[in-house]
Amino acid sequence: MKPTRHLFTAIYNRRSVRHFKPDPIPPAILHQIVEAARWAPSGGNSQAHVFGIVTDEKKKRALAQAAGGQMWIAEAPVVIACCAKLYKPEEESEFSQEVNRLRWGKEAYDWFLSCPNPYHMALLFMNSTPLIPGAHIQLAAAAHGIGSCWIGYLDIAQASDILQLPEDVRCYFLMPLGYPAEDKRRPRKPLSELTFHDTWNQSWDAATAYPSFGQLVLRPYQPADEDAWLATWAQVAVTSRAWVTLHQRKPSYKREALELVAEYNGELVGFMDVEVETELGELGYAKDSCCGFVWELGVRPDHQGEGIAKRMIAAAQEWLSARNIRRMEFWSMDQRAQGFYEHLGMQELERHWQFYTSLPQDVTQRMREQDKFGLQVAFGNCPIDELPVLNEKYGVREPLICVGYDYRW
């Protein structure tokens, strides 16, 4: 199963989907999506929204007919009928009347009140009731990679008949849900066209000051990023064999270092730390020139394969070039990382085993007795050929080959 998306990525990746795969939506996921609607806000917490979960093929086809014959709707494994429970016009509360007068103005509201069929007024006024909970449904679905589409081109009376709704419940919109069989992004106006600051004629500076969604931003790490950095690091570290110790603080460096983060839709999705070697042999394995030693490099799992690591490496290259450094060293025990470095044309410098082991019991016992030193974990390394001998002698656990790569330009 694909990982769930973070909020802003889900917002950015949501599209109206009009062609679905037949794959069913797992019930627990569908429940979570509809539960998201339950927590939507509503005027006076009236919670007048009701959602029909329609999976019956005949009913889905009938609803698609009621939607002006948009028959693709029936392709979706689930169609949500977004309904509202109408208030009886004569039962409208004093407060609701007061709110309506304030909002629409007395003249308009009185005109509505005098309409020949008071039911029509409630019908129109309740149109917006399913919209916010429906938006929750749409975004919750997007977070699971499930596509949806608002359907407002709908014969409300006909759809409500098909669903056998009581007179005071109307189906205002349909929302087909399913795994997308198409992916089409529609353009958006720039934020500057959609905003103003204080009054109509003033533009909101922030609209153009920051990158729009969909752009990858590489920028220096700032102390305020620490929580997001650690959260991103943790997601990368649990899906990689590259790290053996847990970071609970963002690592910092003695020497000058590039601490880079990659941001997408305002979310931290990648990181790269490169420390500059100032004296030959201090950090690097190759001894012919000082390097930028790469301590940390990772991309959040849901953004891997998008060229983010490559972009960070290129930025590090540029930063190091400005300091007259023309090579980087990358070390990793993670096979995917090794494959990636090889794919980028890096040259192997060295390889060795790294593993957990236990010291012989007489040694650990002596340490405990003499120095009160209880040694629990020993992590070591050895040349490639030595592993069988060491294994025999000490026993090694989880051995992994660590490969060092040299990247020059």
Ligand X SMILES: Cc1cc2nc3c(=O)[nH]c(=O)nc-3n(C[C@H](O)[C@H](O)[C@H](O)COP(=O)(O)O)c2cc1C
Q: What number of residues does the chain have? A: 409
* 3 state SS of 73: helix
**Least distance from C-beta 156 to ligand X, angstroms?**
12
394 and 358 Cβ atoms separated by less than 8 Å = yes
**Least distance from C-beta 171 to ligand X, angstroms?**
13
Choice between 4 and 16, CB closer to ligand X: 16
Choice between 20 and 407, CB closer to ligand X: 20
348 and 285 Cβ atoms separated by less than 8 Å = no
**Least distance from C-beta 70 to ligand X, angstroms?**
6
Q: Which residues bind ligand X (CB under 6 A)?
A: 15-16, 18, 70, 149-153, 186
Backbone angles phi, psi at 298, to 5 degrees: -160, 155
Counting Cβ atoms within 10 Å, is residue 264 exposed (0-12), middle (13-18) or buried (19+)? buried
**Least distance from C-beta 151 to ligand X, angstroms?**
4
Choice between 130 and 292, CB closer to ligand X: 130
**Least distance from C-beta 132 to ligand X, angstroms?**
12
Other CB atoms within 10 Å distance of the CB of residue 306: 15
Choice between 15 and 326, CB closer to ligand X: 15
C-alpha distances (whole Å) from 195 to each of 20, 185, 187, 202 are 34, 22, 17, 9
Question: Among 223, 316, 312, 336, which Cα is nearest to 263's?
Answer: 312
Query: Nearest residue to ligand X, using CB?
Result: 152
Q: Which residues contact 334 (CB under 8 A, 6 or more apart)?
A: 240, 241, 242
Choice between 15 and 351, CB closer to ligand X: 15
**Least distance from C-beta 66 to ligand X, angstroms?**
11
Question: Among 298, 271, 295, which Cα is nearest to 283's?
Answer: 295
Choice between 149 and 236, CB closer to ligand X: 149
Choice between 132 and 387, CB closer to ligand X: 132
**Least distance from C-beta 82 to ligand X, angstroms?**
10
Question: Among 85, 58, 86, 83, which Cα is nearest to 174's?
Answer: 83
